[in-house]
Structure 1
């Protein structure tokens, strides 16, 4: 038995011991030598054979399908962290969970504001701008109201601005490279959450309005890593060069925290330093 197989068995036994038949709507029968559910009860609820579930606990079942793991996660009423741990122990990639409720929680919003004047923004799964700080707004949306994500949510979308807003588009020196990157990110999101209504609507809308988007979309670019560098021709601040860091908040894999950094000592860093001092 492999070490991961032993750990998987120990994890399942611990969860089995923590549940009683009545917790899951089962009738209890006979005396029980140990606390918790019997293996045959788990197998019944998970819709697998008792012998197969026994092999899973003993670490001799071989490769376990994602469907069986999902069934066990439901049977044991695992939360998101426990479900992810179950899949890791079984060395199986879990299906992507559906995006959480829209909106920006208070702590993440406070973080974005607290690191100002480092430009930062939070995007949803369809690249809706859920929040940004003043410097990010100044650099990427100075022609828009700061409260755009709240007042005009239909306009506050990173990729829609890139394709349909002339002023936003003119910011990017290497527009085609940036456009390919964000279309690739959208393609990755659509693969993760194929049933997400907002994603489908955005793709349909841009496909009907923007031939350039449609052409890029049909090339099937796929991106998940940061672009690493972006050059801007800002109408007020002048030329800027920034690298982007993309983070996912724990428990909200549908959100992306974008942080833009300048090379220390560079002209762009001096621009941001002046803003810090103002």
Structure 2
């Protein structure tokens, strides 16, 4: 635990808050900026003496419950809460849910990307937005129920049950399933109280022996998938470059399928672009 940095960070977050930010009256005799130490202590449900010792770097490492109280008392953001836990040398207590709203600038980017199939996935593999070329390459997600837009569920349970054909005809379906399990384990660690995440994991463990087997391996390091080959019902076999960009502010993934200029895949993707619905962007 970095006690001095921990105390300095607490002090800086306390001093930026106004009493009215936490429902308190500022009063006529307030001479210091922000909250008083005793006010912060009351809001965090700890003693004033203990809080003062924390700010002065004289207290032992606080428990997870104390840190959770401080996070709420000082109105810390997710990033600030994570930093507080890093300074304390503890793992943060996760209570938030994963985000499903896509940034408008990303939606605009999907529309502008030339000859690129693109989609945005949540941390739980939900397809949140996609362009028309992605719909042509895989499927039009607007035509399926929201539950079936989850790629983890589709990979292990399929659109018609666990014995369905491989995911969109991809040749590396087994590798993708392993990737899904590792990513979902990391997602569950970040959102252990998110019912959508815990429910999905339980559903997959109960419904897919393959998922249950892979889950018990406790693998956490997912290898990057640099290329992917689809067997498309219209254009046949098509190999694309697969790039996944992390949108850190919302814990989402921007997945891009593209091809080198002049390659057979580029010709197939161009044909799909013509057969598709133009440059529309779809959002769930």
Measured against the shorter chain, the TM-score band is 0.7 to 0.9
Q: Report if aligned partners of 1:172, 1:230 keep a CA contact under 8 Å in 2.
A: yes
Distance 1:32 1:94, change over 3 A: same
CA contact (8 A) 2:107 2:129 kept: yes
Shift of 1:77: 1.9
Distance, in Å, in 1 between the alignment partners of 2:13 and 2:222 is 35
Q: Which runs of 5+ in 2 are unaligned?
A: 276-284
Does structure 1 conserve the Cα–Cα contact (< 8 Å) formed by 2:181 and 2:214? yes
Corresponding position of 2:107: 109
For 1:41, which of 39, 44, 49 is the aligned residue?
39
Give unmatched runs, 5+ long, in structure 1: none
Indicate which of 136, 150, 154 corresponds to 2:147.
154
1:171-212 deviation line (CA, Å, top 9, x unaligned): 122222221111222232233323333334434444444333
**Structure 1 counterpart of 2:253, from 245, 253, 256:** 256
| Contact residue 19 and residue 36 of structure 1 kept, 8 A | yes
Counterpart Cα distance in 2 of 1:95 and 1:267: 49
> With structure 2 as the length reference, what TM-score do the two structures score?
0.73
How far apart are the structure 1 equivalents of 2:226 and 2:180?
13
The Cα of 1:158 is off from its aligned counterpart by 0.9
Question: CA separation of 1:34/1:209 partners in 2, compared to 1, >3 Å: closer, same or farther?
Answer: closer
Q: What displacement does 1:90 show?
A: 4.5
Of residues 121, 125, 128 in structure 1, which corresponds to 2:126?
Answer: 128
Q: Which has the higher contact order (CA 8 A, sep 6+)?
A: 2
Q: Which stretch of structure 1 is more off in the superposition, 108-117 or 85-94?
A: 85-94
Separation of aligned partners in 1, 2:30 and 2:199: 55
Q: Secondary structure at the match of 1:111?
A: helix
TM-score normalised by length of structure 1: 0.75
Q: Which residue of 2 aligns with 1:195?
A: 193
Q: CA–CA distance in 2 between the matches of 1:99 and 1:85? A: 19
**In structure 1, C-alpha distance between the alignment counterparts of 2:198 and 2:7, rounded to whole Å:** 40
Superposed displacement of residue 66, structure 1: 4.0
Aligned pairs for 1:145-224 (under 5 A) are 145-148=140-143, 151-163=144-156, 164-165=158-159, 166-169=164-167, 171-223=169-221
